[in-house]
């Protein structure tokens, strides 16, 4: 018997049908659409068609996440991409953390994507590597809510499944090895102080993608979940301005 997990309030997918230009928005590992909703809503208010999927196994219970694979997370994003493709002529992608990894994956596999915006994207997290050696441990501490701004909480799991960490390690490996396949314009936001994903990830991505048009913007006033932090508006404005250049 499979257990039914309810979707947490605030973790629902965000879908808004607007114009012929679409923006796919992806949240990160153990997180939910709540971390990306301010961006998704801002894009929708500007008239874009927007789809922010809830990644499989996310936004319910960490035991639900434990049984999901990185292929499932890709499938969640591909489903959103297909929805946008049916309605739009051009599609952009924005992602936070593993959402950034997913954005990179999509750009590697869908050369028709016009441009991508990455926020503290992950392709290598050395602190996670030790998990491969763990035996008989199912759950680790939470990694969510790395936010500098007081009083702001990310809707994320309070435990991290070991099985899921192994999945994201495999996924980052896959994406990292294929970065040269990316040619689309790329905007990278990076928090110099990030307690989840080392900031060097963004520099590595910047150096290894084949894109001629790319820009790296530092966010000294935000931690990992910058979309809910002091730089939220800066990310929204910067991403909109960047995408408009290529419309």
Within-domain flag for 151:
yes
Q: Compute the 3-state secondary structure of the chain and give helix, strand, coil in percent, each to the nearest 5.
A: 40, 15, 45
Share above pLDDT 90 across residues of the chain, in percent, rounded to a whole number: 94
pLDDT class of 82 with cuts at 50, 70, 90: very high
pLDDT tens profile 156-209: 999 999 999 999 999 999 999 999 999 999 999 999 999 999 999 999 999 999
Catalytic residue among 64, 194, 229, 231: 194
Q: Supply the pLDDT for residue 218.
A: 98
Within-domain flag for 215:
yes
**Residue 173 contacts by C-beta under 8 Å, 6 or more apart in sequence?**
none
Q: What CA–CA distance (Å, rounded) separates 94 from 92?
A: 7
Within-domain flag for 6:
no
The residue segments making up the domain with residue 160 are: 14-244
Q: Supply the pLDDT for residue 98.
A: 98
Within-domain flag for 62:
yes
Q: What CA–CA distance (Å, rounded) separates 186 from 179?
A: 12
Q: Supply the pLDDT for residue 135.
A: 85
Within-domain flag for 207:
yes
- The pLDDT of residue 1 is above 70: no
97 is catalytic: yes
Share above pLDDT 70 across residues of the chain, in percent, rounded to a whole number: 99
What is the SS3 assignment for 25?
strand
pLDDT class of 94 with cuts at 50, 70, 90: very high
* CATH number, domain with residue 199: 3.40.50.1820
Q: Supply the pLDDT for residue 142.
A: 87
Query: Cα–Cα–Cα angle for 215, 146, 115, nearest 5°?
Result: 25
Q: Supply the pLDDT for residue 146.
A: 95
Catalytic residue among 35, 117, 222, 224: 224
49 is catalytic: no
Within-domain flag for 233:
yes
3 is catalytic: no
Q: Supply the pLDDT for residue 2.
A: 61
What is the SS3 assignment for 215?
strand
Catalytic residue among 97, 191, 202, 222: 97
> Which 3-state string (H, E, C) describes 42-95?
HHHHCCCEEEECCCCCCCCCHHHHHCCCHHHHHHHHHHHHHHHHHHCCEEEEEE
Within-domain flag for 235:
yes
Within-domain flag for 183:
yes
Q: Is the pTM of this model over 0.85?
A: yes
Q: Supply the pLDDT for residue 4.
A: 82
Overall number of domains in the chain: 1
């Amino acid at each position: 018997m499979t257990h039914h997990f309810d979707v947490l309030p605030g973790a629902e997918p965000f879908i808004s049908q607007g114009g012929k230009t679409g923006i796919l928005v992806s949240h990160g590992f153990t997180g939910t659409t709540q971390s990306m909703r301010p961006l998704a809503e801002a894009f929708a208010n500007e008239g874009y068609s927007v789809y922010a999927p809830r990644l499989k196994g996310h936004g319910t219970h960490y035991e639900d996440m434990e049984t999901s694979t990185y292929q499932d997370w890709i499938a969640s994003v591909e489903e959103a991409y297909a929805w946008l493709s049916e309605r739009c002529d051009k599609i952009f992608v924005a992602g936070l953390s593993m959402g950034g990894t997913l954005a990179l994956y999509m750009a590697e596999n869908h050369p028709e994507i016009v441009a991508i915006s990455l926020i503290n994207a992950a392709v290598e997290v050395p602190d996670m590597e030790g998990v491969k050696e763990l035996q008989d441990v199912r759950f680790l501490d939470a990694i969510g809510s790395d936010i500098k701004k007081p009083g702001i909480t990310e809707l994320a799991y309070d435990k991290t499944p070991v099985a899921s960490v192994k999945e994201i390690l495999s996924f980052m490996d896959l994406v990292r090895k294929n970065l040269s396949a990316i040619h689309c314009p790329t905007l990278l936001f990076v928090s110099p102080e990030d307690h989840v994903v080392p900031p060097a990830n963004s520099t590595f991505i910047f150096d290894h993608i084949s894109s001629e048009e790319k820009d790296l913007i530092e966010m000294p006033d935000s931690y990992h979940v910058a979309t809910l932090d002091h730089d939220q508006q800066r990310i929204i404005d910067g991403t909109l301005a960047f995408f408009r250049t290529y419309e």
